[in-house]
């Protein structure tokens, strides 16, 4: 009558040394998810391949929509030493989109010359993974940075295992779920999860078959894995005793949008020799209602509604018990009187008091999880896990981490308080570098700063970085700290064409310790390289002023010259026939014989009056008007600028007198 948790079984092969070593199920630590890898194909574009591209297919086997936010697909070779997602070409970051129940999500990866295009992919990786045709390892990971392990030559730590949402090892892979990897694949076969993606026994060999590739996307028909009829509800999370005034609640888990009003939660007194009750007495009666779209039902309780000592929580069906009835008339710990048709679920806390009794299983006691305090609340991890053992439960942070307004003191091995939302365990992760400017292996202007972005706020201790270049040598830098982004302004410019290496020293970068009592350093040094290049043209670089282009005659002295100029837009006629706009030098040269403005014949870059722009093109005369045409590039340097109009006294002596005001704001 109760659901079975989905443990993660990881098999690691230490080739040539130990044969196959089976790893026992790792304790699940992530918020519950119904996402899984449903299809893997690595033969795209090869000889005889039906499709031009490799692909990975994700499937939502649950009955409610699930977000892909924060997830990534990471690849590692079947038996190599490279880690999952160790380069841009081995990781695909998933976007913040919702995947409906029973819906597929198609990710396009590496390509070749043969086959036909895939059905419209939901995501095209711009740094595609070149997957192994016959063998490889794919992990769906609750992180968007490299997992940092490969399960074989680099063993995954418990914290890294906790980030793996799903794992598929195929062919000769040395890391997979269950007893064996999924079958060897080919140019014409993909690994398809059985039952359209629904089957998940945590054994790749049992769950996958090598079949003709059948890519499915979000437009494909959905496939429901939901069992017929609602599942019995379970107590999913409870809070009875917290710091300060108790924040109390009970959360239930069941089939989404289901009426569970036939069920009732009973709190049964368990403390011996109490003054306000007796063992076996009903101290609280909580009727259930209807679950939400995620299958959760939250009941908030008043402070002290639940006892702080030894209690049993019984979830029963068809209840007739009322407050104060005694279900254990002889106080021997055995239920004597039943006021219900069935006990559907239960959990108890025993604080170790002499003679205390409990009436539900499992019983959570001080130290049941290695923490030497009696829990005040606990969460099933993941939601709905029910083996009737204490392993289903992770104690909640006593200081209310997860509750708005409370910082908490959560530590590894505890769960957040998550009333009404999916349960979640705290997992301490070390800080890491998530991005750099320039990117590893890229080009970087010789006079620009370097930016390093960490995964969280960190504290750095010198010497936490080094910048060493082939020609200009070792650099120091002025550091700007805008946690988690650090900017390095090098002491001198780099030399064009030289290669530079930046190293972030792991031991000198630690987290800011806002979530536990341990200062965690980076796991390993981070190194990236770049090549210094000549800076691209940009606003503020030397330019030819508009008044020099105009000159003091009727035609431009620079006609036919390719040049750059800057000015403020004083008239915008990109729409309406003129196909351009007027710009004017905001200060001018003070020469009344030269115009400070010029016409720019261009509609490709939209501008507005007040924009300060830089324009590169050719100076020409067009029917007596000096203009820039053709225009090769426009930069918008700033907006909201003003130019003081120039006073013109009428009438003028001759029509030619207007030449000195050409294209100016008057």
State mean pLDDT over 356-377. 95
Q: pLDDT: is 335 or 514 the higher one?
A: 335
Residue in 165, 166, 55, 57 with CA at minimum distance from that of residue 105: 57
The percentage of the chain sitting over the pLDDT mark of 90, rounded to a whole number, equals 79
Summarised one tens digit per residue, pLDDT across range 298-312 is 999 999 999 999 999
What's the whole-number average pLDDT of the chain?
A: 90
Q: What is the pLDDT of residue 2?
A: 32
In a domain, 85, yes or no: yes
Is residue 271 very low, low, confident or very high in pLDDT (cuts 50, 70, 90)?
A: very high
Residues 190, 251 within the same domain: no
How much is the pTM? 0.44
Q: What is the pLDDT of residue 1?
A: 31
Q: Which DSSP helix (H) or strand (E) runs through 500?
A: strand 499-504
Residues 183, 250 within the same domain: no
Residues 146, 189 within the same domain: yes
Q: What is the pLDDT of residue 20?
A: 35
DSSP 622: E
CATH number (domain holding residue 126):
2.60.40
Summarised one tens digit per residue, pLDDT across range 614-657 is 999 999 999 889 999 999 999 999 999 999 898 787 887 765 66
Cα R_g (the chain), whole angstroms: 34
Q: Which residue range is the domain that position 576 belongs to?
A: 546-661
Q: What is the pLDDT of residue 461?
A: 94
Q: What is the pLDDT of residue 24?
A: 34
Summarised one tens digit per residue, pLDDT across range 483-508 is 899 999 999 999 999 999 999 999 99
In a domain, 46, yes or no: yes
State mean pLDDT over 270-292. 87
Tally of domains within the chain: 4
State mean pLDDT over 132-160. 94
Q: Annotate 39-52 with b (16+ C-beta within 10 A) or e (fewer).
A: bbbbbbbbeebbbb
Question: Is the model's pLDDT at 21 over the cut of 50?
Answer: no
CATH number (domain holding residue 560):
2.40.50.200
Residues 68, 200 within the same domain: yes
DSSP 369-384: TS-SS--SEEEESSTT
Summarised one tens digit per residue, pLDDT across range 430-470 is 889 999 999 999 999 999 999 999 988 899 999 999 999 99
In the chain, how long is the greatest CA-to-CA distance? Answer: 120
Contacts of residue 244, Cβ cutoff 8 Å, sequence gap at least 6: none
The percentage of the chain sitting over the pLDDT mark of 70, rounded to a whole number, equals 92
In a domain, 98, yes or no: yes
Residues 148, 56 within the same domain: yes
Q: What is the pLDDT of residue 552?
A: 86
Is residue 12 very low, low, confident or very high in pLDDT (cuts 50, 70, 90)?
A: very low
In a domain, 11, yes or no: no
In a domain, 120, yes or no: yes
CA distance 539 to 202: 58
Is residue 5 very low, low, confident or very high in pLDDT (cuts 50, 70, 90)?
A: very low
Summarised one tens digit per residue, pLDDT across range 223-232 is 999 766 789 9
Q: Which of 392, 427, 462 is the last residue of a domain?
A: 427
Residues 362, 256 within the same domain: yes
Q: Mapping DSSP to helix (H, G, I), strand (E, B) and coil, where does residue 473 land?
A: strand
Q: pLDDT: is 20 or 269 the higher one?
A: 269
CA distance 90 to 76: 7
CATH number (domain holding residue 506):
2.60.40.1220
Please answer whether residues 128 and 54 qualify as being in contact, where contact means their C-beta atoms are separated by less than 8 angstroms: yes
């Amino acid at each position: 009558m109760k659901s079975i948790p989905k443990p993660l079984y990881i098999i690691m092969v230490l080739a040539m040394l130990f044969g196959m070593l089976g790893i026992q199920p790792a304790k699940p630590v992530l918020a519950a998810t119904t996402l899984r890898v449903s299809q893997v194909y690595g033969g795209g574009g090869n000889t005889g391949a039906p499709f031009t591209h490799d692909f990975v297919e994700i499937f939502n086997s649950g009955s409610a929509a699930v977000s892909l936010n924060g997830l990534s697909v990471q690849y590692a070779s079947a038996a190599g030493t490279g880690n999952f997602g160790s380069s841009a070409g081995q990781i695909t970051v998933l976007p913040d989109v919702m995947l409906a129940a029973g819906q597929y999500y198609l990710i396009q990866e590496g390509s070749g010359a043969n086959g036909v295009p895939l059905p419209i992919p939901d995501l095209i990786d711009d740094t595609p993974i070149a997957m192994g045709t016959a063998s490889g390892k794919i992990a769906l990971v609750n992180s968007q940075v490299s997992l940092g392990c490969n399960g074989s030559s680099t063993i995954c730590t418990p914290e890294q295992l906790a980030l793996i949402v799903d794992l598929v090892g195929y062919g000769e892979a040395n890391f997979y779920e269950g007893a064996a990897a999924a079958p060897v694949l080919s140019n014409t076969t993909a690994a398809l999860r059985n039952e359209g993606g629904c089957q998940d026994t945590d054994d790749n060999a049992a769950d996958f078959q090598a079949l003709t590739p059948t890519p499915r996307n979000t437009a494909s028909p959905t496939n429901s894995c939901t069992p017929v009829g609602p599942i019995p509800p379970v107590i999913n999370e409870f809070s009875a005793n917290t710091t300060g005034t108790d924040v109390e609640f009970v959360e239930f888990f069941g089939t989404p949008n289901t009426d569970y009003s036939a069920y009732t939660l009973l709190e049964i007194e368990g403390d011996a020799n109490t003054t306000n009750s007796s063992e076996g007495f009903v101290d609280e009666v909580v009727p259930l209602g209807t679950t939400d779209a995620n299958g959760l039902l939250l009941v908030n309780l008043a402070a002290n509604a639940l006892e702080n000592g030894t209690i049993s929580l019984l979830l029963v069906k068809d209840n007739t018990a009322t407050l104060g009835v005694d279900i254990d008339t002889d106080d021997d710990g055995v239920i004597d009187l039943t006021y219900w048709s069935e006990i559907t679920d239960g959990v108890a806390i025993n604080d170790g008091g002499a003679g205390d009794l409990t009436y539900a299983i499992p019983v959570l006691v001080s130290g049941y999880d290695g923490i030497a305090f009696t829990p005040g609340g606990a969460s099933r991890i993941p939601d709905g896990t029910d083996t009737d053992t204490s392993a289903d439960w992770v104690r909640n942070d006593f200081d209310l981490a997860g509750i708005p307004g409370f910082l908490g003191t959560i530590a590894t091995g505890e769960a957040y308080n998550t009333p009404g939302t999916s349960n979640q365990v705290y997992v301490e992760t070390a800080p890491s570098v998530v991005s750099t400017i320039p990117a590893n292996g890229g080009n970087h202007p010789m006079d620009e700063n370097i930016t390093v972005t960490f995964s969280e706020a960190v504290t750095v201790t010198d010497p936490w970085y080094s910048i060493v270049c082939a020609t200009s040598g070792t650099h120091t830098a002025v550091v700007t700290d805008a946690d988690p982004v650090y900017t390095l302004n090098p002491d001198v410019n780099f030399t064009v064409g030289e290669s530079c290496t930046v190293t972030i020293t792991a031991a000198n970068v630690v987290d800011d310790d806002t979530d536990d009592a341990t200062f965690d350093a980076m796991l390993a040094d981070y190194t990236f390289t770049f090549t210094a290049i000549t800076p691209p043209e940009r606003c503020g670089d030397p330019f030819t002023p508009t008044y020099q282009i105009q000159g003091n005659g009727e035609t431009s002295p620079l006609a036919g010259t390719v040049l750059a100029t800057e000015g403020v837009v004083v008239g915008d006629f990109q729409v309406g026939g003129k196909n351009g706009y007027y710009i004017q030098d905001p200060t001018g040269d003070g020469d009344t014989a030269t115009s400070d403005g010029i016409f720019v014949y261009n509609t490709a870059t939209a501008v507005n009056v007040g924009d300060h722009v830089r324009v590169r093109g050719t100076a020409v005369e067009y029917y007596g008007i000096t203009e820039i045409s053709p225009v090769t590039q426009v930069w918008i340097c700033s907006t909201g600028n003003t130019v003081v109009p120039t006073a013109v006294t009428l009438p003028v002596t001759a029509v030619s007198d207007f030449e000195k005001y050409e294209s100016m704001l008057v």
